């Protein structure tokens, strides 16, 4: 990697890397404190948040409660959810929904004017606030993008991405190195840097994520020495449309909440054979069941013909449009489905106020590991976590006196050739996918070592190792991590990971 040193230059007060829900909401809640947002594409486009078809889970119904929401979160997380964090986020959730309403997010309403709440898997009550059935992410991003463009306290830098963190001699984070669309790099100093870049689904050959979601934040933080946790846990959405597209269109879980059934190619339902909750079983269970049905040759499909039928176009317009573009009508035909890499439950360790383990660095959204998701994220908790932690980071930073950055240094990373990167994606899906085996993980790590020797260390390879090495070390099955050679669960323990001098160090606790 090339080295870069910075001794002086313009200094941002708060520098936010990423312009999805977490980054934009944080910037708006920081006002009037000035901040700068770096977005790799024009604001409001190509962010994972905009692709979210679900909504935000919150205890908004009088018969619901934050305690019940937290209990569902803990139960879904397969023993690794931090119950304190689950209660904190569930308690703050309703207030953050109100904040989004004030920003103009048009959540669905009942005929009497109350918020319309939907049911999703592993929730004990309907508590998902949605927009037009499956347009929540798009609607939220539209409202926040408009507000951010109008805010005098927000400076926007579009069509640029952060590729490395800057650090001073004491290890404090001092900003980032950015790269524009012409691959030109430049440093940007900051008093506080916030990583909110989303997930890593783009490292898999079948994913619902934008191609840009490659785990950049994990690589940058790991290279700087930040503490990571639970990086082996990747959630696969059970029902991506299997129509040959990359990324794969998502068939929202709300379809099953509305009564759609999972069936084989003969139209026979199969989920009751795998779990007593059938279609509403936890996501990891449903994803593995679908994978097994596909591997058996029976195929896997989603049948919404009776449960939704003629109302499909109006209730779920995004899914309906994807089906139409694929050449079939879901009101009349079964929808072919396959599990797809969807959400990373691990990430950069965050405390309850969004601080990472390195001074000058905060983290928010999917790239963070707050302890909320455990080994299996509860549906629609991700957008909720993003806004709750964005608010908490904003509260912390609003009154803080932040230190000026000193002389800083960073690295300019190498990139894999496109053909090699595509091969990595195939290996990731095969070795670090829904089901894993020690032999396959070891072979994949050997392949990565050969690629690093041939092309030099690179961030895509590092993120792949950050998943594969803890997956190999976790000799059990738990939530989204299922080992064929270790099918039983052991005592619940989280993984804590640091990258030092080219080696990944893993501790359990």
Can you give the CATH number for the domain in which 502 is found? 1.20.58.100
Going by their DSSP bridges, the two strands 234-241 and 503-508 should be labelled as unpaired
Going by their DSSP bridges, the two strands 408-412 and 2-6 should be labelled as antiparallel
pLDDT recorded at residue 219: 97
Lookup: tokens for 486:
């270790």
Can you give the CATH number for the domain in which 282 is found? 3.90.700.10
Residues 78 and 191 in one domain: yes
pLDDT recorded at residue 122: 85
Residues 171 and 305 in one domain: no
Say how many domains are in the chain: 3
State the DSSP H helix or E strand holding residue 208, giving kind and residue range, or none if neither: none
Residues 315 and 357 in one domain: no
Residue 291 is part of which domain span?
Answer: 239-341
The yes-or-no answer on residue 283 being catalytic is yes
CA distance 146 to 91: 28
pLDDT recorded at residue 22: 95
Residues 312 and 429 in one domain: no
Phi/psi of residue 36, nearest 5 degrees: -125, 135
Residues 100 and 187 in one domain: yes
pLDDT recorded at residue 153: 97
pLDDT recorded at residue 51: 65
Domain boundary among 391, 410, 429: 410
pLDDT recorded at residue 403: 87
Are the CB atoms for 238 and 208 separated by under 8 Å?
no
pLDDT recorded at residue 331: 97
Residues 7 and 116 in one domain: yes
Residues 196 and 106 in one domain: yes
Per-residue pLDDT of the chain (509 residues; tens, 9 = 90+): 567 777 667 899 999 999 999 999 999 999 999 999 999 988 877 667 666 666 899 999 999 999 999 999 999 999 999 999 999 999 999 999 999 999 999 999 999 999 999 888 889 999 999 887 677 778 888 999 999 999 999 999 999 999 999 999 999 999 999 999 998 999 999 999 999 999 999 999 999 998 889 999 999 999 999 999 999 999 999 999 999 999 999 998 889 989 999 999 999 999 999 999 999 888 888 999 999 999 899 999 999 999 999 999 999 998 999 999 999 999 999 999 999 999 999 999 999 999 999 999 999 999 999 999 999 999 899 999 999 999 999 999 998 889 888 888 888 889 999 999 999 999 999 999 999 999 999 999 999 999 999 999 999 999 999 999 999 999 999 999 999 999 999 999 999 999 998 999 999 87
Which candidate in 96, 256, 283, 474 is catalytic? Answer: 283
pLDDT recorded at residue 284: 86
Residues 307 and 404 in one domain: no
Q: How far out from the chain centre does Cα 496 lie?
A: 19
Residues 260 and 114 in one domain: no
Nearest to 489 by CA among 352, 374, 380, 367: 374
Residues 228 and 358 in one domain: yes
Residues 337 and 395 in one domain: no
CA distance 302 to 330: 9
CA distance 182 to 205: 26
Residues 90 and 217 in one domain: yes
pLDDT recorded at residue 407: 82
Q: What's the Cα-to-Cα distance from 70 to each of 64, 74, 192, 282, 452, rounded to whole Å?
A: 11, 6, 31, 15, 42
């Amino acid at each position: 990697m090339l080295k870069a040193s910075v001794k002086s230059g313009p200094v941002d007060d708060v520098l936010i890397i990423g312009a999805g829900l977490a980054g934009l909401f944080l910037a708006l809640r920081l006002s009037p404190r000035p901040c700068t947002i770096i977005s790799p594409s024009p604001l409001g486009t190509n962010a994972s948040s905009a692709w979210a078809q679900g909504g935000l889970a919150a205890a908004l119904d009088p018969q619901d409660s934050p305690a019940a929401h937290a209990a569902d979160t803990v139960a879904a997380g397969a023993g690794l959810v931090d119950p304190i964090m689950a209660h904190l986020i569930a308690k703050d959730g309703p207030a953050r929904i109100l904040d989004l309403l004030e920003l103009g997010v048009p959540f669905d309403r009942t005929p009497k004017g109350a918020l319309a709440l939907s049911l999703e898997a592993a929730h004990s009550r309907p508590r998902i606030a949605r927009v037009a059935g499956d347009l929540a992410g798009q609607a939220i991003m539209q409202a926040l993008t408009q507000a951010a463009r109008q805010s005098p306290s927000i400076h926007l830098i579009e069509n640029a991405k952060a590729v490395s963190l800057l650090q001073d001699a004491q290890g404090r984070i001092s900003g980032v190195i950015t790269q524009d669309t012409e691959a030109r790099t430049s440093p940007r100093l900051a008093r506080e840097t916030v990583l909110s870049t989303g997930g890593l689904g783009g490292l898999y050959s079948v994913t619902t994520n934008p191609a840009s979601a490659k785990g950049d934040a994990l690589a940058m933080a790991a290279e700087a020495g930040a503490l990571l946790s639970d990086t082996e846990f990747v959630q696969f959405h059970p029902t991506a449309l299997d129509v040959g597209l990359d990324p794969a269109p998502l068939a929202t879980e709300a379809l099953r909440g509305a009564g759609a059934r999972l069936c084989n190619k003969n139209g026979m339902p199969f989920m009751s054979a795998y779990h007593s909750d059938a279609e509403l079983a936890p996501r990891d269970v449903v994803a593995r069941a679908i994978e097994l049905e596909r591997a058996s040759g029976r195929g896997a499909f989603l049948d919404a013909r009776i449960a939704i039928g003629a109302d499909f176009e109006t209730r779920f317009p995004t899914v309906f449009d994807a089906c139409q573009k694929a050449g079939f009508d879901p009101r009349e035909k079964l929808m072919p489905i396959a599990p797809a890499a969807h959400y990373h439950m691990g990430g950069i360790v965050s405390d309850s106020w969004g601080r990472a383990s390195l001074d000058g660095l905060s983290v928010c959204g999917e790239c963070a590991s707050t302890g909320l998701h455990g080994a299996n994220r509860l549906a629609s908790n991700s957008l909720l976590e993003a806004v709750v932690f964005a608010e908490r980071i904003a509260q912390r930073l609003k009154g803080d006196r932040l230190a000026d950055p000193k002389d800083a240094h960073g690295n300019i990373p190498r990139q894999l050739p496109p053909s090699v990167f595509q091969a990595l994606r195939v290996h990731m899906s095969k070795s670090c996918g829904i089901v894993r085996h020690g032999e396959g993980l070891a072979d994949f790590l050997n392949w990565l070592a050969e690629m690093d020797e041939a092309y030099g260390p690179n961030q895509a390879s590092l993120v792949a190792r950050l998943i594969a090495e803890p997956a190999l070390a976790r000799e059990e099955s738990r939530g989204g991590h299922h080992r064929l050679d270790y099918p039983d669960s052991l005592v619940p323990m989280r993984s804590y990971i640091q990258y030092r001098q080219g080696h990944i160090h893993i501790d359990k606790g």
